[in-house]
Structure 1
C-alpha cells in the first residue's frame, strides 16, 4: 500500500512537467505565428523583409526601413486536429485499457499588435505584443489515459520595446527588451487506472473509492520573465537584403497552487503553494530577401532554436524543498523556409511559402501535445484600400509526421505505460490591419 501512496504523490509533480510537450504547429511549444503577412509565406524571410510593423517581433534592425509611423493589429486562428490510437496500462500486472482519442488539441486565437515610429533618418523605435509560446490540450474528464493527457494550457505574452539605428546605406542594427508574462494550467486525472487502484484499495481493506474523473493533479501558476532580442541587416541595395536576429532565453518560475481529489491515505493534497521552473529557449534566425523583378521577390530563412539548453526541469514546495528533478532529452531544432511574393498591381500583393520544421523531442514524446516534424504550405495576400490602409490575409496547412511512441511514468518500481500512434495537422487562418500615418 505504501508503494501506491508514493506512486500517486510523486505523480503530482511528475505530471506537471508535461508542460514541455510539443505543439503540432511548432517545435516543442514554440509558436511561429507572429504576423499574418509572414504566415502567407510560411515565415520565409522574416529577418530580412520589411512588410509592416510586425518586424518588431522578429528583427528590430528592420525598423530603419520605415520612413513613417506605422501600426499593425490582428491575429491568427489556430485550428488543430490530432488523432490518437493506443492503450495505457500497468504491464507488470497485465492491465491495459484503450487510450484512443480524436481532436485533443484546443483551437486558439493568437492576437498581435505592433507599432514603429521613425525618429529621424537613422534612428527608429517600436514595440508590440504577441504570443510567442503556447500549447493547449484538453481531454475528456473520463479519458482512460487521463494520467498522461488531461488538460495542459500554457500561454506566454511577449511585450517588446525596441530601438534601431542605421549606420550607413548598408548596415542597420537593432536591440530590444522582452518582458514575458506566462500562465499555466494543468490537470491530470485517474482515468482508466481507477479499477486497478480500487482493487488494490479493497485488498488493503480501505473503504475509499477512486473515480476515473478524480484529479491526480490540478495545477495553476503564472510568472513574469525578462529577456532581450537583437538583430542586424545588411542591404546590398534596396532589392537585396540579408538579416540576422537573436532572441534570448527567458527563465520562468511558475508560482501557484497544486491540489488533487485523492483520499488522504493516497497522497491527497489540499491547496498547496509550489513552483515549477521552466526556461524558454533562445534562438537565431538568418534570412534573405531578393527583389528579382519590379513585381516579383523570393525569400528564405533558417532558424535554429536551442532546445538542448532546456535539459532540466525542477519542482519545489513553498518551503524550498525539491520534489522533482528531471532530465529532458530535447535537441536543437532547425526550421528551413522558402517563399515568394508577387505584386499583381498597386492594390494587391500575393504570397506563398513552404517550410520544414523539426521537432525537439527526438525519441521522446507525449500525448499532452505530440511533438513531431512538420511541413508548412502557405498562401497569403495584402490588399491596399488606400496607400496608407491595408489588410493582410493568409492561410497555412501544417502537416505533422505520424509518430508511434511509448510514454512511461516510472515511479518507485511502478511503471505506467502508454503506447500511442499519433496523426496531427493544423489549419491556420490570419488577418491583420496595417495603417501608415
Structure 2
C-alpha cells in the first residue's frame, strides 16, 4: 500500500492511495479465513468448507468490503503518522472506479483541509471583570407588582360602561357561514379579554365600545390557512349578546398572593423573588464576562483557518439572519441567500474562537459527562409537555441533535475553565449598569 502526496498548499492536502492487487487479494483471503468457521454449505460440515469454494461463492461480495477496509486503514495510518486532523470529512474518490476489474490495483484520491496548529494562550494574562448586582427592594417590589398584574381579577364596571381594550366581556355568541351554524361556533357565558388575540382577527375589535345588554353583530373572515378546511377563507357573522363588561383589577400584594405562587407568606415570596432575580443577574453577568473573554481571546490569537469551515459558517449565519428578518417563511424553499462580507467576518471570528476553545478543551481533557447530557436533554424535553419521553427517545437516536446539545455545554465548560485561571476583579454594580452591559452585547 502506498500513499503519495499530491498537494500541500496552506491547509489544503491531497494524496493518492494505491492498494495493490496482491494486497487486496490478501485482504479478501483474510476475510474468508475469518468467516470460514461459521459457514455451512451442503456436503460439508460447519467450518470445513474449502477456502477455494468460499472464494468462488463469496469472493465478489467481499471485494468491496476489502477495498473499503484497505482505504480506511491507509487513511487511519496516514493521519496517525502525519498528525493531521481533517477539518471536515475527507473527500475520497476512486480514480479507476468505472474501469476497475478484479486483478487491478485500486487507486484512490483523497483530499481535505487540515486543522491548523493552534497557539498556546497564557490564561494568567487574561483580565476579566465580574459585575456584582444585588436584588434591591425596588426590584423585588417591581417583580411583585408584575406578579399581581398577571394574577389579575376582573370586576364589573359601572352599569352602562363601554368596554375598553383590556376589559373582559362575558358574551353569548352564535356564528354562521352562509346562513348556517357551524360546529364550534357557539358558546354561552364566554369570558373574552379584548385585545388578547384569542379570537379570529377583527372579532374582538368590534366589541370595543359595547355595553352590558347590547346585541352586536360581528362580521369576520376566517384566515385562508385556518385549521378547519370547511371554514378557511369563509366570511362569517356572529350574533353576540354582551352580558357583562368587567375591568381588570390587579391582585392585592399580600399573603394570599404569595400562597397563589406557592409561598408560605408575603415575606417568603419576597425572599424567593430576590433569589430568582440574583440568579438572573448572575446569568447576565456571566454573559457579559464571557463576551469580554472571547473578545480578548480573539485579539490574542491569529492562525490560518480552513476556508471550507468559514464558508459553511458564513452560509449558516446568512441563512439564520434571513429567517430572523423574514419570520413568515418557516421552510427552506426561499432560494439562495447572499453571503455578505459582514457574514464572512462574523464567521471568521466564530470559527477561530470555536477551534481555539475546542483545542483548549482537548488539551485540558474537558468533556461533557453522560449525566450532564441527560440533564440537558431532560431540560429541553420539558418544553414539550406530554411528549417528554418521545423527545428523549428521538434525541437518543439522533447523533446530530446530540451534537447540537453537547456543543454549548462543552463550550461553557471550557469557558469556566479559562475563567478559573484568569484574573477576575469583582465590581459592585446596579441593575441599570448590568442592563446597559447586556444591551451592549446586542449592539456589538
Is the TM value for this pair above 0.5? no
The one of the two structures with greater contact order (alpha-carbon pairs below 8 A, sep at least 6) is 1
Question: Which has the larger strand fraction?
Answer: 1
TM-score (norm 2): 0.16
Rg larger in structure? 2
TM normalised by structure 1 equals 0.16
